A and B are shown apart, each in its own frame.
Chain A
Amino acid sequence: MEFLRPASWDEALAAMAEHPGALPVSGGTDVMVELNFDLRRPPAVLDLNRVAELAEWSSDGASVRLGAAVPYARIIDELAGPLPGLATAARTVGSPQIRNRGSVGGNLGAASPAGDAHPPLLAAGRGVRVEAHSVRGVRLIPIDEFYLGVKRNCLAPDELIRAVRIPVADGPQQFSKVGTRNAMVIAVCAFALALHPADGTVGTGIGSAAPTPRRAPEAEEYLRESLDWTSGGPLDPQVPLRFGELVAAAADPIDDVRGTAAYRRHALAVLARRTLAWCWDDYREQLGRTA
């Protein structure tokens, strides 16, 4: 197994061109487990830790360009304002040690349906782009098109994730994750919700309840039609119930050692109802403040 340590981003891309299929490693929270448990023996490992710009983020006020290796701990500390959904999800990742090392780039690279970052990225919606670089150029991949299957994404063998571009939240965002322990747990299922008052739309993201992270388009459409954005009146009690049903119906879960399909659907409906109530309360509060 070759071990590649590029000193710069260009070197990294060149190395990938020379060794397509090399496994990039940054925080190593997924990769090192697989290597240590002998679950994976890639032909080459590409260590990105010397490429400093991967651990930086920037914002033009409309969106955040989040470097692939910015650790979750910094997302919690520095980006809870512009990216509240992702920051909430970041709080649920692993242990403090994992949050100091793990990053959204790693989640995207592994493309596990249980990755905690996926649902808020999907919910943040239109405009979320994965920046995939190679010596051939840059692709901006819409997040909806990024996930192909269980632990499969659409990156080409020579591509690296440079950053994720995420619109700055224009409304309340929430993330909830069910696990069978109160910390350091892989999601049994997870749900993210983002309200987008700017255009009266809603974003959703479902984790750990289908072969890939996915949205619940019918549930989004239902909410878009049902929410009274201008008055911000209290929710009709029927709305969260129906929303929950639609979210559950959008999932395609399996029975596994972490939980049953039936429970995952049930829990998603509960999470959908609750996150909607929290987001709507926040939205009404914001409306009240601006009025």
Chain B
Amino acid sequence: MTTRSIQGEKNLRKIDQASEDGIGRSPLRPDGALKVKGEFAYSSDLWHEDMLWGTALRSPHPRANIRSIDISAALAVPGVHAVLTHEDIPGSPYYGLEFADQPALAVGKVRHQGEPVALVAADHPETARRAAKRIAVEYEVLTPITTEEQCLDPGRYGYVHEPHEYRARAHGNLCHEQRLVAGLGVTDEVRALADVIVAGEYEVGMQDQAFLGPESGLAVPAEDGGVDLYIATQWLHVDRQQMAPVLALPEEKIRLTLAGVGGAFGGREDLSMQIHACLLALHTRRPVKIVYSRDESFFGHVHRHPARMRYEHGATRDGKLVFADCRIVLDGGAYASTSAAVAGNAASLGHGPYVVPNVRMQAISLYSNNPPCGAMRGFGAVQAAFGYESQMDRLAAALGMDPVELRQVNALAQGDVMPTGQQVDSPAPVAELLQRVKDRPLPPPLDPSDRRALPGALSNTSHGEGIVRGVGYSVGIKNVGFSEGFDDYSTARVRLEVIGGAPVAMVHTAAAEVGQGGVTVHAQIARTELGVERVAIHPANTEIGSAGSTSASRQTYMTGGAVKLAAEAVREALLERGRRRHGWTHGDLALAGGRVVSASAGVLAPLAELLGDEPIERTRVHRHRPTVALHPETGQGFGHVQYSFCANRAVVDVDVELGLVKVVELTAVQDVGRALNPLAVVGQIQGACTQALGLAVMEEIVVTDGKVRNASFTDYLIPTVLDTPPIPVELLELPDPHAPYGLRGVGEAPTVSATPSIVAAIRQATGKALNRIPVRPEHLTL
């Protein structure tokens, strides 16, 4: 809280207090009640007179050549206004976040099931869907390349992208490779230094972001030949940047406005229907709306990379890590998306929040004919954490040590050096987080009389029989902000003016509010910095500079930081106006309670009077400190801006005969630097823990030979309230001197750390090795 020092007159106390709804407080989010009551307008609720409905025809095959496309039958359907293929694309056929390797509409071949092949616009969504079915596509079906072995042997199994089509930085079916060597690497000599060596192979299934609001948006053709797009996305400007070359329009003719976003979790970082809606709108000169069905949504966005990992750890008898040897293979699917950055994260964070003197790491991302994978909350750090935390438990068992103690013996701390050579230059209280989570009281023993508390719950599978309790611990590390030399910035405009006699701040950014609560926090920052109560949040759009993505736990740090800079600039301009106008010379001026106050002289002027009818507006860009790319062979470099740590304890009850799991409690202790809105911070941590629980015990897109077998919420299961335990959260607030207000990005660390704690608890209850997540009942019983 920003309680400023107060001297002098007593009547100053009232007005010089921090705003009730400033930073450090927990004002409620403006969209919360609307969402709960079903009144919030999501992008799927957009409506425009005369609008058409667009839909895509998608490939049923994971790998095929397209011999011909006949659209005539679809065009003949009454109500159809356009049927488009790649031949109708005015600009480049390709787009992509890191490499432009993904066709907006298939060009001659399809590389994954669900790849869009053609578009239809019609006056009714059903008409559009029916017409799409009448597009005749002749495929030459090829055997898909889906396994690591197949991908790494293109001579035998073929190329996902032929060498002449290849656009990434590696070769063959390799999309990206990041190696890392620290200390002496891992050699026979290094191995000989270890008293105990444990090795394991681990596998992570393909998790989906499973946001509830399907991809949707509305494109409106503009008189200037451009297009206005209302869209649920994570990053307006990077959408536009990818759209412009395909639409063959200058960026300024593509104007994006954020529509209501129903969750994102990384799944909206890539384009989905943006280009499609704009192509149809520009072609028909009519507004075009596209809303995915749930089924289409599973094919319309990238997923979390499935991973296969091999870890070997060596330690001395007293538990000190000697080396870590790791190989992480990520399946990126047909297109690059953010695979390179995900692999970079896996490599640079894949040894965990531990001091490891000797490391050899190889992280690769493959091209395959599986569904494309990209950003999802935790971004490469999640997969690795399942590997290294499983290893820590295995090592503790081999050493006969307590698993928490083993982690503490090796815990990273401020001043330590990561295997990338980067020194950790802000608090890294890993050992303390573990201690605090361990010291929390355990939940009471099982009460079988409450069936809801049992594994299986009201499915009535047990009345207490076969239930064994287990407890597991884990800790994880995640980077905050964009890493590896990315020029990461955000822009904010703050305007202070008098409306209805009172000072009102207007905050304008392009930051995507995806449910994280950015709009709440930006208003809190403006209140604190400007001493006003009323703050309006301007709709996010491309009229202002980029805010960067709502991802990488970065938005409060980056856009919050930009709002702070802009508000400070407004404050300074206002005080300067006062000095000029009134000759103030005080060195202790502040804005509070709608007034300019001096700590020594008391109230100097109401803000409304000083502002008059001359608003003050400032725009500022906030950059975090620069990072550098990791060396491709050694992985060395100051690659990350900030690290975020969370420790978890999971308590589970397992029906060991049926293999059913009930997570009883999932405790989280996290260092958040500074909680700008403690309620929102706890919400982020609890949400992240729940998503991690899903990965631990149920969430997986099952893919067989490149085909998705469960593209629905009937069979892609996410936790219900009966699966979600109490999640006690304890916050540490150790300020990071490099960050605005000392804050640390919070949204991802628990998705990294919580999954392994649940699996560890299930292992303790069952004695099973459990080298694959999600853990399924058959893994526990057969």
Say yes or no for A224: interface residue by CB 8 A criterion: no
Chain A neighbourhood of B722, CB < 8 A: 181-183
B contacts with A: majority SS: loop
Q: Can you name the residue of chain B whose Cβ is closest to the Cβ of A175?
A: B460
Q: Can you name the residue of chain B whose Cβ is closest to the Cβ of A263?
A: B778
Q: Can you name the residue of chain A whose Cβ is closest to the Cβ of B463?
A: A278
Chain A neighbourhood of B466, CB < 8 A: 270
Are B777 and A263 in contact, CB atoms less than 8 angstroms apart?
Answer: yes
Chain A neighbourhood of B782, CB < 8 A: 260, 262-263, 266
Q: A186-B714, A267-B777 are in contact. Are A178 and B456 (CB under 8 A)?
A: yes
Say yes or no for A16: interface residue by CB 8 A criterion: no
Once bound together, how far apart are the Cα atoms of A38 and B778, in whole Å?
33
Interface of chain B residues 513 through 549 with chain A (CB within 8 A): none
Once bound together, how far apart are the Cα atoms of A245 and B471, in whole Å?
33
Once bound together, how far apart are the Cα atoms of A271 and B462, in whole Å?
8
Are B461 and A258 in contact, CB atoms less than 8 angstroms apart?
Answer: no
Once bound together, how far apart are the Cα atoms of A266 and B777, in whole Å?
11
Interface of chain A residues 150 through 207 with chain B (CB within 8 A): 174-186, 188
Output the least CB separation between A167 and chain B (Å): 22
Which of B92-100, B410-418, B472-480, B654-662 contacts its partner? B654-662
B439-462: CB near A (< 8 Å → 1, else 0) gives 000000000000000011111111
Chain B neighbourhood of A91, CB < 8 A: 458, 460
Once bound together, how far apart are the Cα atoms of A182 and B662, in whole Å?
8
Say yes or no for A88: interface residue by CB 8 A criterion: yes
Residue from B129, B458, B462, B712 within 8 A of A38 (CB atoms): B129
Residue from B293, B457, B781 within 8 A of A266 (CB atoms): B781
Are A183 and B776 in contact, CB atoms less than 8 angstroms apart?
Answer: no
Output the least CB separation between B705 and chain A (Å): 14
Residue from A92, A181, A267, A277 within 8 A of B698 (CB atoms): A181
Chain A neighbourhood of B460, CB < 8 A: 88, 91-92, 174-177
Chain A neighbourhood of B46, CB < 8 A: none
Q: A257-B702, A258-B715, A274-B465 are in contact. Are A37 and B293 (CB under 8 A)?
A: yes
Chain B neighbourhood of A257, CB < 8 A: 702, 709-710, 715
Output the least CB separation between B399 and chain A (Å): 34
Q: A38-B129, A257-B715, A262-B778 are in contact. Are A182 and B457 (CB under 8 A)?
A: yes
Once bound together, how far apart are the Cα atoms of A251 and B659, in whole Å?
19
Once bound together, how far apart are the Cα atoms of A259 and B702, in whole Å?
12
Output the least CB separation between B741 and chain A (Å): 39
Once bound together, how far apart are the Cα atoms of A180 and B660, in whole Å?
7
Q: Which of A262, A270, A278 has the most chain B CB atoms closer than 10 A to its own CB?
A: A270
Say yes or no for B735: interface residue by CB 8 A criterion: no
Residue from B455, B710, B720 within 8 A of A184 (CB atoms): B720
Are A177 and B459 in contact, CB atoms less than 8 angstroms apart?
Answer: yes
Chain B neighbourhood of A182, CB < 8 A: 455-457, 459, 660, 662, 720, 722-723
Q: Can you name the residue of chain A whose Cβ is closest to the Cβ of B780?
A: A263
Residue from B461, B698, B719 within 8 A of A274 (CB atoms): B461
Are B458 and A181 in contact, CB atoms less than 8 angstroms apart?
Answer: no
Chain A neighbourhood of B719, CB < 8 A: 181
Interface of chain A residues 221 through 262 with chain B (CB within 8 A): 257-260, 262
Once bound together, how far apart are the Cα atoms of A176 and B720, in whole Å?
19
Say yes or no for B9: interface residue by CB 8 A criterion: no
Once bound together, how far apart are the Cα atoms of A178 and B456, in whole Å?
7
Are B458 and A185 in contact, CB atoms less than 8 angstroms apart?
Answer: no
Say yes or no for B295: interface residue by CB 8 A criterion: yes
Are A270 and B658 in contact, CB atoms less than 8 angstroms apart?
Answer: yes
Once bound together, how far apart are the Cα atoms of A27 and B722, in whole Å?
25
Once bound together, how far apart are the Cα atoms of A270 and B709, in whole Å?
28
Once bound together, how far apart are the Cα atoms of A266 and B781, in whole Å?
8
Once bound together, how far apart are the Cα atoms of A9 and B776, in whole Å?
47
Say yes or no for B717: interface residue by CB 8 A criterion: yes
Q: Can you name the residue of chain B whose Cβ is closest to the Cβ of A264?
A: B778
Chain A neighbourhood of B129, CB < 8 A: 38
Are A185 and B702 in contact, CB atoms less than 8 angstroms apart?
Answer: no
Output the least CB separation between B719 and chain A (Å): 7
Q: A183-B721, A257-B710 are in contact. Are A176 and B459 (CB under 8 A)?
A: yes
Once bound together, how far apart are the Cα atoms of A278 and B781, in whole Å?
22
Residue from A37, A180, A274 within 8 A of B776 (CB atoms): A180
Interface of chain B residues 262 through 311 with chain A (CB within 8 A): 293, 295
A77-98: CB near B (< 8 Å → 1, else 0) gives 0000000000010011000000
Once bound together, how far apart are the Cα atoms of A181 and B458, in whole Å?
11
Output the least CB separation between B168 and chain A (Å): 32
Are B723 and A181 in contact, CB atoms less than 8 angstroms apart?
Answer: yes
Output the least CB separation between B447 and chain A (Å): 16
Output the least CB separation between B449 and chain A (Å): 14
Q: A186-B714, A263-B782, A266-B782 are in contact. Are A177 and B720 (CB under 8 A)?
A: no
Chain A neighbourhood of B714, CB < 8 A: 186
Once bound together, how far apart are the Cα atoms of A108 and B457, in whole Å?
25
Once bound together, how far apart are the Cα atoms of A179 and B659, in whole Å?
10
Interface of chain B residues 676 through 721 with chain A (CB within 8 A): 697-698, 702, 709-710, 712, 714-715, 717, 719-721
Q: Can you name the residue of chain B whose Cβ is closest to the Cβ of A88?
A: B460
Output the least CB separation between B700 and chain A (Å): 9
Once bound together, how far apart are the Cα atoms of A235 and B438, in whole Å?
44
Chain B neighbourhood of A266, CB < 8 A: 778, 781-782
Q: A263-B778, A270-B658, A278-B463 are in contact. Are A183 and B295 (CB under 8 A)?
A: no
Q: A37-B293, A258-B715, A263-B778 are in contact. Are A92 and B720 (CB under 8 A)?
A: no
Q: A178-B660, A266-B782 are in contact. Are A183 and B702 (CB under 8 A)?
A: no
Output the least CB separation between B551 and chain A (Å): 28
Chain B neighbourhood of A262, CB < 8 A: 778, 782
Q: Can you name the residue of chain B whose Cβ is closest to the Cβ of A188?
A: B777
Chain A neighbourhood of B781, CB < 8 A: 263, 266-267
Residue from A181, A186, A271, A277 within 8 A of B461 (CB atoms): A271
Q: A176-B456, A177-B459 are in contact. List 19 more A-B contacts (CB 8 A).
A: A37-B293, A38-B129, A91-B458, A176-B461, A178-B459, A181-B719, A182-B456, A182-B720, A183-B457, A183-B721, A188-B777, A257-B709, A260-B778, A263-B659, A266-B778, A267-B658, A267-B781, A277-B465, A278-B463
- Footprint of A on B, CB under 8 Å? 129, 293, 295, 455-463, 465-466, 657-660, 662, 697-698, 702, 709-710, 712, 714-715, 717, 719-723, 776-778, 781-782
A-B contact pairs, 19 of them (CB 8 A): A37-B293, A37-B712, A92-B459, A92-B460, A176-B459, A177-B456, A177-B461, A178-B660, A179-B456, A180-B698, A180-B717, A180-B776, A181-B720, A181-B722, A258-B715, A259-B777, A263-B781, A271-B461, A274-B465
Top 3 A-B pairs ranked by shortest CB distance? A263-B778, A183-B722, A182-B457
